[in-house]
């Protein structure tokens, strides 16, 4: 049986994506880790052979990955995990962006039905409508999803509602009573998008604690550093500013840190801060955050697609999350 990249990752105690980067001499791998991976690969006699399985095959060995953005850290990390697993299985990856409702509609109505040299598709946090999801399923395409739950399509995600609940509950347990939430473009109650689910968890935690949610403390940060800074400025210039801020992404949390600094405020003395994702910069910044296994989600989705292509039924995978307190929150 051929040794796979997953075997090397397991033996070296690192992720599949790290093995892929190390063996291709890509950046963001520590020299000691790179050498460890190389030695394990040599000992296991691991030889990537991405094209061998294509010989005599009638399939394209190409997967399409669809994202709403390309410049944000989260999507880059998910795609890294996807690419590592697909590459090891001998699949090429094609990336396409559908950033708004018009592009999503065009993709479902015109692009997806005409695809010929693509075996399967992975959707990464693409908020398709119920009608669009029905059209995708009706085409009989081999599809899986990451993050955003698409009914009827197998996917990989964390429990975003529970993560929002856990984070807010822990802030409340530390004595905070006016917790602002910096969210996405819109976070209506009951919305089943990722920001909506995290917001629902925030609301449920308040309800469980018997504390009324102050609607004015829910502001949009557009999942960007600039948006987070603008949202934080709006919150922190108030005479009754919040005593804690829960940002639904670490990039928005970084914007909160910038805004607080510009206003001469101290984190956590004047306001505590909790982000979401566990961005690679969060540890260096001392940012408290909700960790989700982002690269691992991409890896799991890619393996799920390979299983679907092989005829194996797929079931949803829920990955664990963890609240990590660092310097931007007081000790409980």
> Are 23 and 52 in contact, with CB atoms under 8 Å apart?
no
Q: What is the CATH number of the domain that holds 277?
A: 3.40.50.2300
Instruction: Look at residue 61 in the predicted model and tell me its pLDDT.
Output: 85
Q: What is the predicted pLDDT for the residue at 213?
A: 95
Is 35 a domain residue? yes
Range of the domain at 44: 1-48
Residue 251 in any domain: the answer is: yes
**Residue 59 belongs to a domain:** no
**pLDDT, tens digit, for every residue of 182-231?**
997 544 444 778 999 999 999 999 999 999 999 999 999 988 999 999 99
Question: Residue 211: inside a domain, yes or no?
Answer: yes
Closest to 290 (Cα-Cα) out of 141, 165, 139, 128: 165
- Count the Cβ atoms, other than its own, within 10 Å of residue 316: 13
- Number of domains present in the structure of the chain: 2
Tens digit of pLDDT per residue, the chain (332 long)?
678 887 888 899 988 778 877 887 766 688 899 899 889 988 888 876 554 444 444 567 899 999 998 888 899 999 999 999 998 888 999 999 998 889 999 999 998 888 878 899 999 999 898 899 999 999 888 999 999 889 999 999 999 999 999 999 999 999 999 999 999 754 444 477 899 999 999 999 999 999 999 999 999 998 899 999 999 999 999 999 999 999 999 999 999 999 999 999 999 999 999 999 999 899 999 999 999 999 999 999 999 999 999 898 899 999 999 999 999 998 75
- Asked if residue 285 belongs to a domain, the reply is yes
Output b/e per residue, 175-187; b: 16+ Cβ within 10 A. Answer: ebeebbbbbbeeb
* CATH at 10: 1.10.260.40
Does 179 reside within a domain?
Answer: yes
Give how far Cα 244 sits from Cα of 74, 142, 234, Å.
24, 44, 14
Q: What are the pLDDT digits (tens) for 87-135?
A: 888 899 999 999 888 999 999 999 888 887 889 999 999 989 889 999 9
Would you say residue 85 lies in a domain?
Answer: no
In a domain, 39, yes or no: yes
Asked if 90 and 51 count as a contact pair (C-beta separation under 8 A), the reply is yes
Contact status, residue 258 vs residue 328, Cβ threshold 8 Å: no
Is residue 288 classed as helix, strand or coil in its secondary structure?
strand
Domain stop point among 48, 63, 78? 48
């Amino acid at each position: 049986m051929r040794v796979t990249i997953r075997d090397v990752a397991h033996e070296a105690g690192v992720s599949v994506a790290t093995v892929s980067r190390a063996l291709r001499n890509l950046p963001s791998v520590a020299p000691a880790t790179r050498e460890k991976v190389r030695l394990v690969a040599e000992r296991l006699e691991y030889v990537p052979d991405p094209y061998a399985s294509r010989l005599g095959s009638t399939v394209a060995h190409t997967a399409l990955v669809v994202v709403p953005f390309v410049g944000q850290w989260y999507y880059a990390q998910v795609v890294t995990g996807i690419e590592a697993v697909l590459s090891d299985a001998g699949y090429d990856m094609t990336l396409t962006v559908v950033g708004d409702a018009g592009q999503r509609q065009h993709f479902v109505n015109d692009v997806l039905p005409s695809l010929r040299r693509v075996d399967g598709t992975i959707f990464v946090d693409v908020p398709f409508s119920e009608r669009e999801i029905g059209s995708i399923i009706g085409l009989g395409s081999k599809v899986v999803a990451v993050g955003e739950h698409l009914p009827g399509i197998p996917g990989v995600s964390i429990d975003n509602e529970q993560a929002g609940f856990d984070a807010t509950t822990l802030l409340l347990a530390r004595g905070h009573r006016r917790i602002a939430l910096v969210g996405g473009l819109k976070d209506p109650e009951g919305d089943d998008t990722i920001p909506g689910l995290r917001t629902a968890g925030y609301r449920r935690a308040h309800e469980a604690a018997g504390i009324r949610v102050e609607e004015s403390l829910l502001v949009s940060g557009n999942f960007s550093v600039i948006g987070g800074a603008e949202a934080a400025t709006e919150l922190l210039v108030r005479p009754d500013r919040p005593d804690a801020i829960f940002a639904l992404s670490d990039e928005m949390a970084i914007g909160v840190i910038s805004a607080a600094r510009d206003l001469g405020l101290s984190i956590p003395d004047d306001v505590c801060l909790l982000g979401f994702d566990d961005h690679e910069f969060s540890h260096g910044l001392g940012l408290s955050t909700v960790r989700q296994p982002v690269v691992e989600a991409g890896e799991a989705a890619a393996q799920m697609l390979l299983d679907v292509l092989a005829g194996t039924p797929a079931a949803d995978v829920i990955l664990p999350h963890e609240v990590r307190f660092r310097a931007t929150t007081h000790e409980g």
